[in-house]
C-alpha cells in the first residue's frame, strides 16, 4: 500500500442522510470508539481517547451538517446544533467567538456563556458548542442568570434534556431555533416552535428556567 502525501477527503453528499445512512454512520462511530478504548493505554490513554471521541463527533456533525464548516472553521450559523464540548483554547482558536481568552472568561462570569466540568475530573472546564451558534449568544444571558444558583451539571442538563413544556424539545433547541445534530425526526408541532420568533422562543425558555429555579428553591426550603 502506498501512502500519499495528500489525504483524500470524502465530502458529505448533497442529498439528506437517510435512516440507513445514519445507522451506518452511528455504527462506524461506535466501532472507532470501541477500538480506541481498547488501544488507549498508558498515562496518555485518557487524553488520546478524548481526542478520538472529539474527532468522531466532528465527523458525525460534518456529515449531518456540512455547512457548519468553512475552510476548516466552524460557521457561526448552522442548520443543526453541535453536540460537542470544547476547551477554552478550542473556543478561541477555532473562531467560535471573537474574544481574547481573558475577555471570554469575563463573558462567562457575566452569564453570557456557561461551562461544565468534565465527568470524573475535579478541575478543567468545557464549553458546550451549541451556545456559540447564532442567535444563541444574543439570547442566552437572561436564562443563565435565572439558573445561576444551580450546579454546572444541572445547568447543562436543563439545556439539553427534552422538556414536555417545549413540545419535547430541549431548551437549547428552542432558544436556537434549531434541532440538535443527533435528533432523528422532528414533529410538525416541534418545527412550528423552532420557527417561532426569537424573542418568543427566548421567553418560553426563560419561563421554564424560572419554573425550574423555583422548584429547586422550594425543594431546598
Sole residue written with cell 472568561: 105
Mean pLDDT of 205-215: 90
Distance CA 4, CA 7 (A): 7
46-50, 60-64, 183-187: which range is least confident on average? Answer: 60-64
Neighbours of 132 (CB within 10 A): 21
Sole residue written with cell 445507522: 23
Distance CA 71, CA 214 (A): 45
Task: Write the pLDDT tens digit of every residue in 10-55.
Answer: 333 344 555 556 566 666 766 676 676 666 666 666 656 565 665 6
pLDDT of residue 182: 92
Q: pLDDT band at 196, cuts 50/70/90? A: very high
Task: Write the pLDDT tens digit of every residue in 114-126.
Answer: 999 877 666 678 9
Q: Where are the domains of the chain?
A: 19-64, 65-220
- CA 198-89-87 angle, to 5 degrees, is 65
pLDDT of residue 130: 96
pTM to 2 decimal places: 0.66
What are the residues whose beta carbons fall under 8 Å from the beta carbon of 87, sequence distance 6 or more?
Answer: 124, 125, 126, 127
pLDDT of residue 89: 93
pLDDT of residue 203: 97
Distance CA 50, CA 47 (A): 5
Q: pLDDT band at 190, cuts 50/70/90? A: very high
Task: Write the pLDDT tens digit of every residue in 140-165.
Answer: 999 999 998 888 889 999 999 999 99
Cite the beta strand spans of the chain per DSSP E: 69-70, 73-74, 85-86, 127-128
Amino acid at each position: 500500500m502506498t501512502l500519499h502525501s495528500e489525504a483524500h477527503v470524502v465530502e458529505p453528499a448533497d442529498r439528506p442522510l437517510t435512516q440507513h445512512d445514519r445507522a451506518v454512520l452511528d455504527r462506524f462511530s461506535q466501532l472507532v470508539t470501541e477500538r480506541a478504548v481498547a488501544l488507549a493505554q498508558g498515562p496518555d490513554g485518557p487524553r488520546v481517547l478524548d481526542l478520538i471521541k472529539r474527532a468522531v463527533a466532528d465527523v458525525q456533525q460534518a456529515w449531518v451538517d456540512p455547512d457548519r464548516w468553512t475552510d476548516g472553521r466552524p460557521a457561526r450559523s448552522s442548520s443543526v446544533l453541535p453536540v460537542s464540548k470544547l476547551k477554552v483554547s478550542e473556543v478561541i482558536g477555532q473562531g467560535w467567538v471573537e474574544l481574547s481568552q481573558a475577555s471570554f472568561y469575563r463573558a462567562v462570569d457575566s452569564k453570557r456563556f456557561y461551562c461544565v466540568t468534565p465527568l470524573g475530573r475535579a478541575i478543567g472546564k468545557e464549553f458546550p458548542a451549541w451556545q456559540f451558534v447564532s442567535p444563541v449568544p444574543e439570547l442566552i444571558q437572561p436564562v443563565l442568570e435565572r439558573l445561576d444558583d444551580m450546579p454546572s451539571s444541572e445547568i447543562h442538563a436543563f439545556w439539553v434534556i427534552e422538556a414536555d413544556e417545549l413540545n419535547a424539545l430541549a431548551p437549547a433547541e428552542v432558544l436556537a431555533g434549531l434541532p440538535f445534530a443527533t435528533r432523528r425526526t422532528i414533529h410538525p408541532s416541534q418545527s412550528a416552535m423552532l420557527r417561532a420568533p426569537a424573542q418568543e422562543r427566548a421567553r418560553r425558555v426563560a419561563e421554564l428556567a424560572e419554573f425550574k429555579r423555583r422548584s429547586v428553591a422550594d425543594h431546598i426550603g
